[in-house]
Amino acid sequence: MHKVAIIVAGGKGERMGVSTPKQFLELAGKPILMHTLEKFKQAVPSIEIILALPENQIDFWEELFHKYQYAKVRHQIVKGGQTRFHSVQNALNLVKENSIIAIHDGVRPLVNEETIKRCFAVAEEKGNAIPVVDVVDSIRHYSKQNGKNEAVSRSCYRIVQTPQCFTSELILKAYEQAYDRLFTDDATVVEKLGETINLVEGNRENIKITTTEDLVIAEVFMKT
């Protein structure tokens, strides 16, 4: 089945204290976002890639793209929306055929090919798939209402990653719903339809780069 990757990149770099949007920062010699696009092309050479960017960042990205010509990966660009939800909506409007659609954070350049292929395969079989990893730290439940906290079993929880994959029929239907601030990722949008979400194994180094510390960690992962 035809495969599509929607890459959502709307970061501003504020938590890093820099003016350059984080997806454009250099990692191991090229922009973070370029690494991300390349991972999907390597995993699925025939993949269609749609990149959602804030309108005021499109020209800057195109300049970077031409600068790093040796690593070109063909893709369409769509204007991002007010929220991640609306950016994904805009990108979905470009999907023209029955597909398996992966939705991925642009600042997760360390996703490996095995995770990408696993998510696509399970989504094609079962309708959807999202990658997760085990919680390794002790965790506690904290109540904002009364300030109380208690230990909970980490074995009952998973850390969610991307790409989150869905059949086009399912994800297009899900994104016809009105925006809800409780939509934290694409799985929560689909779950509101009453769908069961299928969990698959992710890769632990598939971190979301949001801070300077994350960038340092990503550099280390790149060298190993």
Q: What pLDDT is attached to residue 13?
A: 47
Mean pLDDT of the residues in the chain:
94
Q: What pLDDT is attached to residue 37?
A: 96
DSSP state of 25: S
CB proximity list for 146: less than 8 A, separation 6 or greater:
none
- 85 vs 73: which has the higher pLDDT: 85
Q: What pLDDT is attached to residue 12?
A: 57
Return the CATH architecture of domain 2-223.
Alpha-Beta Complex (3.90)
Q: Measured between alpha carbons, how far is 81 from 89 in angstroms, rounded to an integer?
A: 8
* Rounded mean pLDDT, 54-70: 87
What does pTM read for this prediction? 0.94
Take residue 24 and report the two structure tokens written for it. Answer: 């454009």
93-128: pLDDT as tens digits: 999 999 999 999 999 999 999 999 999 999 999 999
> Dmax of the chain from CA atoms?
56
Take residue 202 and report the two structure tokens written for it. Answer: 């992710």
* Rounded mean pLDDT, 143-148: 94
Q: What pLDDT is attached to residue 10?
A: 80
What are the boundaries of each domain within the chain?
A: 2-223
Residue showing tokens 């850390």 = 159
Q: Measured between alpha carbons, how far is 51 from 76 in angstroms, rounded to an integer?
A: 6
* Rounded mean pLDDT, 138-146: 95
pLDDT at 178 over 80: yes
